[in-house]
């Protein structure tokens, strides 16, 4: 009987805990109210930051091994693709398109940056470049608040 009550108590606790965790997981923050000027400014700053990262990587001395050099070249190539999509996104914002009209552009930029970030972090290892990568991440995080991310 004592074992039955203990199991009953534990199962009740599990149900309460599971309900709480599901409720916390389901609570999604509402997007921030759209601010066209701020979103446009952030997107332009992101493009400028990517430009700094690419320029720094291109002017860095050659790597000591061929594999590391190919990694850096791959990072530059990936960042160039991110820059191209970021520029298209910024132009959409500059033309006055709002959050719902630019959401797919933003998703493309964010996905491209996330795919390239780890390679870029390893390939462009200077302190200044790490700082630029962190700045780019923060800018994307700020932009993400305007969308359902």
- Taking CA 103 as the corner, what is the angle to CA 97 and CA 51, rounded to the nearest 5 degrees? 85
Distance in angstroms (rounded) separating the CA atoms of residues 46 and 25:
30
> From 1.10.3470, 1.20.1330, 1.20.120, 1.10.10, which CATH number describes the 36-144 domain?
1.20.120
| The token pair that represents 80 in the structure block | 């160039």
pLDDT in tens, the chain (149 residues): 554 454 454 444 444 444 444 444 444 567 789 999 999 999 999 999 999 999 888 777 777 778 777 888 888 899 999 999 999 999 999 999 999 999 999 999 999 999 998 887 766 667 888 899 999 999 999 999 999 87
- Name which of 140, 145, 147 is nearest 42 in CA terms: 140
Every domain of the chain and the residues it spans: 1-30, 36-144
- Name which of 39, 23, 45, 16 is nearest 93 in CA terms: 39
| The token pair that represents 48 in the structure block | 């400028």
Handedness of CA 77, 78, 83, 89 (dihedral sign): positive
């Amino acid at each position: 009987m004592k074992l039955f009550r203990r199991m009953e108590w534990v199962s009740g606790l599990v149900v309460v805990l599971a309900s709480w965790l599901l409720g916390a997981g389901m609570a999604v923050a509402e997007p921030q109210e759209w601010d066209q000027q701020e979103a446009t400014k952030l997107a332009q700053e992101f493009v400028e930051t990517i430009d700094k990262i690419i320029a720094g990587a291109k002017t860095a001395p050659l790597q000591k091994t061929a594999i590391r050099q190919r990694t850096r070249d791959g990072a530059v190539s990936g960042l160039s693709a991110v820059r191209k999509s970021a520029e298209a996104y910024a132009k959409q914002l500059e033309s006055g398109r709002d959050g719902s009209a630019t959401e797919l552009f933003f998703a493309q930029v964010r996905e491209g940056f996330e795919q390239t970030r780890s390679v870029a972090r390893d390939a462009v290892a200077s302190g200044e470049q790490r700082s630029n990568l962190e700045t780019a991440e923060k800018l994307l995080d700020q932009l993400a608040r305007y969308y359902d991310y």
